[in-house]
């Protein structure tokens, strides 16, 4: 008997030590891509591969993080005993025996303003 191939995650975004809302995020691994608005929940397909998280709040802040998959040893050991090892090998191969942390907090970084907004003077060019 194998574990579920999907997992529900909660994603939160933090900027300057405060949680912010309305952050668009894309989560992806080798088996899929999921879109969500943080803070919120999303259901992803488990994999043995890392989960990439890319978030953006308008033009004000961005984040890019990678979370490593971890073996869910409790479920794998149960499968090893109950199914004489078959569930263990199925879960390892399918990715269902792996999981990500249930709560993911992404640290947003302020986006750099365009040079014109930062008070820079545009350079004039001459045409001959």
Arithmetic mean of pLDDT over the chain: 82
Q: Is residue 90 part of a domain?
A: yes
Return the sign of the alpha-carbon dihedral for residues 89, 94, 100, 103: negative
Q: Is residue 85 part of a domain?
A: yes
CATH of the domain at 49: 2.60.40
Cα 92 versus chain centre, distance: 21
User: Which residues, other chains included, contact 20 with Cβ-Cβ below 8 Å and sequence gap of 6+?
Assistant: 13, 14, 57, 61, 108
Q: Is residue 120 part of a domain?
A: no
Number of structural domains found in the chain = 1
pTM of model > 0.75: no
- What range defines the domain where residue 65 resides? 6-110
Tell me the pLDDT tens digit for each residue of 4-18. Answer: 899 999 999 999 999
Q: Is residue 104 part of a domain?
A: yes
Consecutive H or E run containing 32: strand 32-38
Q: Is residue 30 part of a domain?
A: yes
Owner of token pair 């953006």: 56
Q: Is residue 38 part of a domain?
A: yes
Residue 95 has pLDDT above 80, yes or no: no
Consecutive H or E run containing 63: strand 61-67
Tell me the pLDDT tens digit for each residue of 38-60. Answer: 999 999 999 999 999 999 999 89
């Amino acid at each position: 008997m194998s574990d579920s191939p999907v997992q529900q995650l909660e994603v939160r975004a933090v900027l300057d030590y405060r949680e912010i809302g309305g952050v668009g995020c894309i989560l992806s691994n080798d088996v899929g891509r999921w879109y969500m608005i943080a803070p919120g929940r999303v259901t992803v397909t488990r994999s043995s591969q890392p989960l990439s998280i890319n978030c953006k709040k308008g033009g004000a802040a961005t984040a890019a993080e990678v979370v490593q998959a971890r073996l869910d040893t409790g479920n794998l050991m149960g499968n090893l005993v109950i199914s004489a090892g078959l569930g263990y090998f199925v879960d390892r191969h399918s990715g269902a025996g792996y999981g990500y942390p249930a709560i993911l907090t992404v640290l947003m970084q302020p986006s750099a303003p365009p040079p014109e907004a930062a008070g820079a003077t545009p350079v004039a060019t001459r045409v001959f």
